Amino acid sequence: MKRLLSVLLTAGVLVAPTLAMAQHNPAAAPAAEGQIVGDAPGAAPDSAKGAEASTSGSGGEAHATPHYPLEKPSELDWTFAGPFGHWDLGQLQRGLKVYKEVCSTCHSMNLVSFRDFGALGYSDAQVRALAAEYQITDPSPNASGEMFQRPGIPSDRLPSPYPNPEAAAAALGGAHPPDLSLLAKARSIERGFPTFVFDIFTQYAEGGPDYIHNLLTSYGEPVPEHFVVQPGTYYNPAFVSSFALAMPAPLSDGAVTYDDGAPQTVEQYSRDVSAFLMWAAEPHLVERKATGFVVMIFLIGFAIMLYLVKNRVWADTPH
């Protein structure tokens, strides 16, 4: 048995270097069926090594993988920006009108109640009249056990244009439009380093409105040659998930009539509805910033007072 083990060990010592040399030198070992000599199984070709590539559907030309959105939103001037911001009630009322006449045909706002519009400067009578324009399915059945519809009341939430998400997807080609209640907080582009550090001090919270405005105003740009837009989608370089989306351009000049003399343009419509969606997502934004500013002043004053008290208490103590 000992002699057999010694023979096997000797054979292993002789064979192992030979196999190692064969693996190191591709020419010394035959290639497996279907494998390219010199490349590991599953390895990318040399043209794609070290960089991601995408190929257009027509020319086959390689292009670097894009990072979305293709166009990052510009920082706009909003009245609610900064620690001393405030809501422009006229702009919010115009944004509500844009939502009612344009956006509400597809998008819901299930977390907003009619009575919340009192914060936009509307009276109780105006809020009741606005709610009565909608037909609401009462959550409780009638005496016969049947569901029924009635005019809306201030405590009702804005109804969805579709009975359920499946019906919305079926009516819109398989794409379910998102609810807009919190969209201005949910859609925001990462600003990266070091910008986000300065945002802590400037209290930048307008990423959502900046993105929404950029998205609504970026339709109609020429499609680059290496992008293939599928049927039923529309090119938009401001979209956060791709270069095209299923929603066509919702706004056009003159689509909504303003009573206060504001410009009836896509630029103005997008600004107004973006501000309105920001208010819907965080209606207490201005109050929160004001409270935070007062708290910071108090903490700074309190820290100064503690420092002076410490010096007074330990003034006569030798160090």
Check the annotation: does 103 bind a ligand: yes
The vertex-43 CA angle with 42 and 49, nearest 5°, equals 150
213 is in an annotated binding site: no
- Cα 113 from chain centroid (whole Å): 23
Rg (CA), the chain: 32
Question: In whole angstroms, what is the distance from residue 13 CA to residue 128 CA?
Answer: 92
133-169 in b/e form (b: 16+ CB < 10 A) is: ebebeeeeeeeeeeeeeeebebebbbbbebeeeeebe
Q: How many whole angstroms separate alpha carbon 83 and alpha carbon 51?
A: 43
Residues 111, 122: Cα–Cα separation, whole Å: 19
DSSP H helices in the chain = 2-24, 89-101, 124-132, 165-171, 183-186, 195-202, 207-216, 266-281, 285-313
Place of tokens 């420092």: 307
C-alpha to C-alpha distance for 222 and 220, rounded to whole angstroms: 6
DSSP 117: G
Residues tagged in the binding site annotation:
103, 106-107, 247
Residues tagged in the binding site annotation for heme c:
103, 106-107, 247
